[in-house]
Amino acid sequence: MFDVRPGTNPDRSRVRNRKAVLGLINSAGQMGRAAVARSLGLSTQAVSNIIAELEVEGLLIERGAQSAGRGLPAVQYGVNPEGGVALGVEIRPDVLLTSLVDLSGKPRATRRQVLDDLSPSRVTVAVLKLRDWMLKECGFTNERLLGAGIVMPGPFGTTGLSGQASDLPGWQTVDVAGLFSQEIGRPVIVSNDANAAAMAERFSVAQGLTDYAFLYFGAGLGLGLVHRCQLVDGAFGNAGEIGHLPVMADAERKPLEQVVSRVSIQSALAANGPLDIEALDRLCKAKDPALMRWLETACDALGQAVGVIENLFDPQTVILGGAMPASILDHLANNTPLPELSVSNRPDAIHPRLQCGTSGRMTATFGAAALILNRAFTPQSTAMWERPPA
Amino acid sequence: MFDVRPGTNPDRSRVRNRKAVLGLINSAGQMGRAAVARSLGLSTQAVSNIIAELEVEGLLIERGAQSAGRGLPAVQYGVNPEGGVALGVEIRPDVLLTSLVDLSGKPRATRRQVLDDLSPSRVTVAVLKLRDWMLKECGFTNERLLGAGIVMPGPFGTTGLSGQASDLPGWQTVDVAGLFSQEIGRPVIVSNDANAAAMAERFSVAQGLTDYAFLYFGAGLGLGLVHRCQLVDGAFGNAGEIGHLPVMADAERKPLEQVVSRVSIQSALAANGPLDIEALDRLCKAKDPALMRWLETACDALGQAVGVIENLFDPQTVILGGAMPASILDHLANNTPLPELSVSNRPDAIHPRLQCGTSGRMTATFGAAALILNRAFTPQSTAMWERPPA
DNA sequence: CCCGATAACTCAACTAACTTGAATATTAAA
DNA sequence: TTTAATATTCAAGTTAGTTGAGTTATCGGG
Q: What are the pLDDT digits (tens) for B250-276?
A: 999 999 999 999 999 999 999 998 999
The alpha-carbon gap from A278 to the nearest alpha carbon of chain B, in Å, equals 31
Please list, in sequence order, all residues whose beta carbon lies within 8 angstroms of the beta carbon of residue B325, skipping any fewer than 6 positions away. B277, B278, B280, B281, B284, B359
Judge: A308–B308 Cβ closer than 8 Å, yes or no.
yes
Per-residue burial over B65-96, b if 16 or more Cβ lie within 10 Å, else e, is eeeeeeeeebbbbbbbebbbbbbbbbbbeeeb
Cis before A107? omega within 30: no
Residues A132 and A186 in one domain: yes
- Whether the beta carbon of B89 falls within 7 A of nucleic chain D: the reply is no
CATH number at residue A329: 3.30.420.40
Q: Distance between CA atoms of B343 and A236, rounded to whole angstroms?
A: 9
Residues B48 and B71 in one domain: yes
Is the Cβ–Cβ distance between B114 and B95 less than 8 Å? yes
Domain end point (choices B46, B79, B112): B79
pLDDT of residue A165: 53
Q: CA of B228: which chain A residue's CA is closest?
A: A385
Picking from B38, B158, B347, the nearest residue to A158 by CB comes out as B347
pLDDT of residue B389: 32
Q: Is residue A3 part of a domain?
A: no
Q: Distance between CA atoms of B329 and B321, rounded to whole angstroms?
A: 7
Judge: A381–B230 Cβ closer than 8 Å, yes or no.
yes
Q: Is residue A390 part of a domain?
A: no
Q: Distance between CA atoms of B314 and B324, rounded to whole angstroms?
A: 26
Judge: B385–A158 Cβ closer than 8 Å, yes or no.
no
The alpha-carbon gap from B109 to the nearest alpha carbon of chain A, in Å, equals 29
Q: How is residue A255 annotated by DSSP?
A: E
Residues A106 and A174 in one domain: yes
3 state SS of A375? helix
Q: Is residue B390 part of a domain?
A: no
Judge: B312–A223 Cβ closer than 8 Å, yes or no.
yes
Is the Cβ–Cβ distance between B106 and B81 less than 8 Å? yes
The amino acid present at A40, given as its one-letter code, is: L
- Whether the beta carbon of B69 falls within 7 A of nucleic chain C: the reply is yes
Q: Distance between CA atoms of A15 and A277, rounded to whole angstroms?
A: 42
- Whether the beta carbon of B384 falls within 7 A of nucleic chain C: the reply is no
Q: Strand D positions with any atom < 7 Å from protein CB?
A: 4-11, 14-20, 24-28
Residues A221 and A353 in one domain: yes
- Kindly report which amino acid residue has its CA closest to the C1' atom of nucleotide D6: A71
Q: Is residue A383 part of a domain?
A: no
Residues of chain A with Cβ-Cβ distance to B199 below 8 Å are: none
Q: Strand C positions with any atom < 7 Å from protein CB?
A: 4-12, 15-21, 25-29
Residue A22 CA and nucleotide D16 C1' are separated, in Å, by: 25
Give the up-direction half-sphere exposure of residue B62: CA atoms within 13 A in the CB hemisphere.
Answer: 9
Q: Is residue A5 part of a domain?
A: no
The alpha-carbon gap from A184 to the nearest alpha carbon of chain B, in Å, equals 25
Alpha helices in A92-175 (DSSP H): 120-138
Residues B15 and B41 in one domain: yes
Please list, in sequence order, all residues whose beta carbon lies within 8 angstroms of the beta carbon of residue A135, skipping any fewer than 6 positions away. A85, A100, A141, A142, A144, A145
Is the Cβ–Cβ distance between A385 and B226 less than 8 Å? no
Domain end point (choices B79, B107, B123): B79
Q: CA of B338: which chain A residue's CA is closest?
A: A160
Is the Cβ–Cβ distance between B345 and B238 less than 8 Å? no
Residues B239 and B342 in one domain: yes
Residues of chain B with Cβ-Cβ distance to A26 below 8 Å are: none
Q: Which of the 22-41 residues on chain A come under 7 Å of nucleic strand C at their beta carbon?
A: 41
Q: Distance between CA atoms of B171 and B158, rounded to whole angstroms?
A: 12
Residues B66 and B98 in one domain: no
Residues B47 and B137 in one domain: no
Q: Distance between CA atoms of B196 and B321, rounded to whole angstroms?
A: 12
Is the Cβ–Cβ distance between B24 and B31 less than 8 Å? yes
| Mean pLDDT split into 10-residue runs, chain A, 390 residues | 66 95 94 96 97 97 88 95 97 94 97 91 95 97 97 84 70 89 95 96 92 95 95 95 96 95 94 92 96 97 98 98 97 97 93 96 97 92 41
pLDDT of residue A43: 97
Judge: B348–A13 Cβ closer than 8 Å, yes or no.
no
Q: Is residue B4 part of a domain?
A: no
- Whether the beta carbon of B52 falls within 7 A of nucleic chain D: the reply is no
pLDDT of residue A63: 95
Judge: A20–B39 Cβ closer than 8 Å, yes or no.
no
Residues A178 and A267 in one domain: no
- Whether the beta carbon of B51 falls within 7 A of nucleic chain D: the reply is no
Residue from A108, A311, A7 nearest B24 by CA: A7
First to last CA, chain B: 16
Is the Cβ–Cβ distance between B169 and B120 less than 8 Å? no
- Whether the beta carbon of A70 falls within 7 A of nucleic chain C: the reply is yes
- Whether the beta carbon of A48 falls within 7 A of nucleic chain C: the reply is no
Q: How many pairs of residues across A and B have Cβ atoms under 8 Å apart?
A: 271
Residues of chain A with Cβ-Cβ distance to B379 below 8 Å are: 6, 8, 382-384
Residues A53 and A96 in one domain: no
Residue A79 CA and nucleotide D5 C1' are separated, in Å, by: 28
Domain end point (choices B35, B56, B79): B79
Residue from B96, B48, B98, B49 nearest B74 by CA: B48
Residues A96 and A70 in one domain: no
Q: Is residue A288 part of a domain?
A: yes
CATH number at residue B70: 1.10.10.10
Q: Distance between CA atoms of B134 and B345, rounded to whole angstroms?
A: 45
Cis before B155? omega within 30: yes
- Whether the beta carbon of B33 falls within 7 A of nucleic chain C: the reply is yes
Residues B51 and B176 in one domain: no
Q: What is the DSSP string of A312-340?
A: HH--SEEEEEESS-HHHHHHHHHHPPPPS
First to last CA, chain A: 16
- Whether the beta carbon of B75 falls within 7 A of nucleic chain D: the reply is no
Q: What is the pairing mode between strands B74-79 and B60-66?
A: antiparallel
Q: CA of B164: which chain A residue's CA is closest?
A: A341
Q: Is residue B331 part of a domain?
A: yes
Q: What range does the domain containing A170 cover? A: 84-199+367-377
Q: CA of B317: which chain A residue's CA is closest?
A: A235
Q: Distance between CA atoms of A322 and A328, rounded to whole angstroms?
A: 11
Q: Distance between CA atoms of B155 and B13, rounded to whole angstroms?
A: 35
Q: Which residues of chain B have pLDDT under 70?
A: 1-5, 163-166, 381-390
- Overall domain count for chain A: 3
Please list, in sequence order, all residues whose beta carbon lies within 8 angstroms of the beta carbon of residue B291, skipping any fewer than 6 positions away. B265, B268, B269, B280, B283, B284
Q: Distance between CA atoms of B146 and B377, rounded to whole angstroms?
A: 12
Judge: B378–A383 Cβ closer than 8 Å, yes or no.
yes
